Each structure stands twice: as C-alpha cells, then as structure tokens.
C-alpha cells in the first residue's frame, strides 16, 4: 500500500518555520548609538550621541561599580540600549547592567552619560565637574596640534 506523499513545498515551508526562530535568536541585534566629533575646546576627538551631544564617564565608575544613581540620573542621563542589543559606534562599545536592571552603554569599561547642562551640539559643559569622581568627555583621541605659520617679517626697515 502506498502512502500519500506531502508536496515538497509544504515540507520546505515547515522546515523554515521550525528553524527560523533559532537562527533569528542566535545573533543579537545591533544599534548605532554613538558617533565621534572633534572638540577643539577640549583638544580631543570625543564620543557623542547620534544627535551630537557629548558623552561623559565618571572616573569613580569602574568594574561595574555605579556611583551615579537616584537623583544623579536627572543631571547625568545614562546612554541605554534594550536588553540583547549590541551598541555600535566609531569605537568598540560594551554594555553593563545598571542596579535598576537597565542596560547601559560603556566605553573602555566605563558607563556613558549625557549631561543635562549641554544644550547644543558640541558643548562639553560637564567636562571636569567633580563629584565623587571627576566627569570627563569620553575621548577617542587627542586632536593633533596644527603647525603655526611663521610670523611675517617686520615690513619696515629699521
């Protein structure tokens, strides 16, 4: 007795439906969260949000230790990503879980924040603010010094 056969297209669709969730769930999604910009006032190339706001880190926040919590977060806004999202930028970025369970973007192991006192692109008003540590713009590199032109000789004879 011969069994009725399933159409091969049905088998292919069923196989794809079974395997698709495993393939999709295997790779975390990525999201562009930072850019870099030259900041001549600081003499550095710094990290910014995708909207151009300077990103900072606090010197006392290392090895998963958080100092900026509670009321601090109204002044220093953490750069967050959804769980499972890999942050992308011009440099290697990482993540750390905050005490409240949210996922914060890190650079060189330090959590990144935007400062509420910066109202325009390119501002770095949070640079050097001292708290339990010191806030610094997240520097990617120093801006190379530009050679200064030689002064023109005195145009009049002595």
What pLDDT digit, counting tens, does each position of 11-37 carry? 445 444 555 554 445 567 999 999 999
Contact 103, 80 (CB under 8 A): yes
Structure tokens at 47: 């990290």
- pLDDT 10s digits, 83-104: 999 999 999 999 999 999 999 9
Give the per-residue pLDDT at 155: 62
pLDDT confidence band for 153 (50 / 70 / 90) = low
Sign of the torsion formed by the C-alpha atoms of 86, 88, 94 and 99: negative
Q: To the nearest 10°, the Cα dihedral for 49, 70, 116, 108?
A: -40
Residue 106 phi/psi, 5-degree rounding, is -125, 155
Looking at residue 15, its pLDDT comes to 46
146 vs 61, higher pLDDT: 61
User: For strand 85-88 and strand 29-32, is the pairing parallel, antiparallel, or unpaired?
Assistant: parallel
Q: What's residue 110's pLDDT?
A: 96
- The pTM for the full model equals 0.75
């Amino acid at each position: 007795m011969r069994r009725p056969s399933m159409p091969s297209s049905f088998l292919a669709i069923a196989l794809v439906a079974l395997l698709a969730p495993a393939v999709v769930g295997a790779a975390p999604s990525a999201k562009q969260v930072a850019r870099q910009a030259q900041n001549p006032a600081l003499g550095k190339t710094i990290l910014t949000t995708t909207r151009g706001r300077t990103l900072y880190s606090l010197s006392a926040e290392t090895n998963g230790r958080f100092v900026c919590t509670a009321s601090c977060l109204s002044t220093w806004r953490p750069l967050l990503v959804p769980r499972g999202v890999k942050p992308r930028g011009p440099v290697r970025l990482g993540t750390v879980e905050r005490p409240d369970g949210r996922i914060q973007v890190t650079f060189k192991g330090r959590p990144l924040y935007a400062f509420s006192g910066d109202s325009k692109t390119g501002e770095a008003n949070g640079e050097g603010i001292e708290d339990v540590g010191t806030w610094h713009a997240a520097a990617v590199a120093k801006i190379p010094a530009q050679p200064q032109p030689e002064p023109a000789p005195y145009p009049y004879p002595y």
